[in-house]
Amino acid sequence: MKKAPTAAVALALSVAAVAGGIGFTAGASRAEADRKPHPVVQNDFDPLGPPMHQLRHAGRTVHYSDTGEKDGTPVVFMGGTGTTARASGMTEFLRTTRQKLGLRLISVERNGFGDTEYDPELGFRDYTADVRAVLDELGVRKAAVVAISGGGPYAAHFAAAAPERISSLHLAAALPPYGDRPAYCGKSDKELEEYFGEQIRDPRAWWAFPEDSPVRDIPGFTDTAEEDGARSFYLRGQKGDPSAQVHEQRLYCDRPGPDLSGLKAPAFVYTGEKDTTVPPAAQARWKAELPGSPTVRGYGDSGHDVQYRHWDRILLDMAGYADRTAVCTGRTTRVLPGKEAERALRKGATEGSCAWRRAGR
């Protein structure tokens, strides 16, 4: 009669059996792998968001982001109030389109937000000087400028002071520094500090979009926006200090706005007809102040999110394709000349990338 194996022998047999199984499985996997396409591992890293840089200028540290190929068409991105230089990353849901159009986004951070120290003495003129310094550092002579919401007044002052540096100007849901002063301008700093202090303590509230906003269909958009809000007001240990925000809101009260008559570059205005933050009537003031005949694009499907819902349109305009429109025909996005696009839209196509149609927009 055979003796039962000892525990040690049993363990050894078990390990051998497992090892044999592993060898057999690995052999089968290798055969399967030979039938698959040859695997490819990338040579370069994919970006995790707009990379930040800095330079010393006029005795202060200027922080800026720079996204895209160095030989791409430069675009200066001026985000909304209370945003950082990384807010340009909120448009990267169409990164592939931006890359194919060869656009390079550069964003210069404003006073007191994110990485940038707060100085109560700085204003529009200083920001214009900072943008000039960054463009000089990067060897950029001219750039398109796109301004969103509270970036509008900064774009206006930059356009007035440095029109020779602008190849085209794009104003999306942008606040104009013209007409009546905002109603809050009559409030005291203490009242504004209390109001904005309450808002920015919760970045989710600061960046909240309506439930029916199309941005909610963009994977990760809300999270990215909330993270930029936290970066704006907490990154350097500000702990939700509203001082920089109140200072920026005060700058928006400056009237009259700058004279734009020296601007020779083409200008575009993008308005969401449902916008209640910067209403269409307010945005219409841009047309009265801009020289020549700016291109005005109005959208009935958008509110204060037109810059995202129609970012594909803005990308085409910045890349020099103002005479063409992206339309979704069936399952394919096509970029068509004016009349062809109009015919496609009459036949049931929708404007913009097919990603919007798949999202039910």
pTM metric for this prediction: 0.90
187: confidence class by pLDDT, cuts 50, 70, 90: very high
221-260: per-residue pLDDT in tens? Answer: 999 999 999 999 999 999 999 999 999 999 999 999 999 9
Q: What is the dihedral of CA 276, 282, 283, 287, to 10 degrees?
A: 160
Determine what percent of the chain is predicted with pLDDT higher than 70. 92
* Cα 220 from chain centre: 13
CB 32 within 8 A of CB 40: no
Per-residue pLDDT, averaged over 332-348, amounts to 95
Per-residue pLDDT, averaged over 194-213, amounts to 90
What's the CA gap between 154 and 132, in Å, rounded?
Answer: 13
pLDDT at 5 over 80: no
Tell me what the pLDDT averaged over the chain comes to: 91
18: confidence class by pLDDT, cuts 50, 70, 90: very low
The tokens describing 230, both together, are 């936290």
28: confidence class by pLDDT, cuts 50, 70, 90: low
Which of helix, strand or coil describes residue 285? helix
pLDDT at 6 over 60: no
Determine what percent of the chain is predicted with pLDDT higher than 90. 84
What's the CA gap between 145 and 9, in Å, rounded?
Answer: 76
34: confidence class by pLDDT, cuts 50, 70, 90: confident
105-127: per-residue pLDDT in tens? Answer: 999 999 999 999 999 999 999 99
Continuous segment of H or E residues that includes residue 156: helix 152-161
What's the CA gap between 100 and 166, in Å, rounded?
Answer: 22
pLDDT at 27 over 80: no
The tokens describing 355, both together, are 């990603």
* Cα 54 from chain centre: 19
Which of 207-211, 215-219, 271-275 bottoms out in mean pLDDT, i.e. has the lowest?
Answer: 207-211
**Beta strand ranges found along 69-181 (DSSP E):** 73-78, 103-108, 143-148, 166-172
Domains located in the chain, CATH noted: 52-321 (3.40.50.1820), 323-361 (no CATH)
pLDDT at 57 over 90: yes
